[in-house]
Amino acid sequence: MKKILKEFKDFISRGNVMDMAIGVIVGGAFGKITTSLVNDVFMPLISWIFGTRDMTALNIVVREATETQEAITLGFGSFIATIIDFLLIAAVVFAIVKVMNAAHKKLEKEKEEAPAAPPAPSKEEVLLTEIRDLLKEKN
* Predicted local confidence at residue 7, as pLDDT: 84
Question: Whole-prediction pTM value?
Answer: 0.53
CB 88 within 8 A of CB 37: yes
* Domains of the chain by start residue, with CATH: 2-138 (1.10.1200.120)
How much is the mean pLDDT over the chain?
82
CB 58 within 8 A of CB 52: yes
* Predicted local confidence at residue 98, as pLDDT: 92
Q: Pick out the chain residues at pLDDT < 50.
A: none
The per-residue pLDDT for range 89-110, each reduced to its tens digit, is 888 888 888 998 898 898 888 7
CB 44 within 8 A of CB 57: no
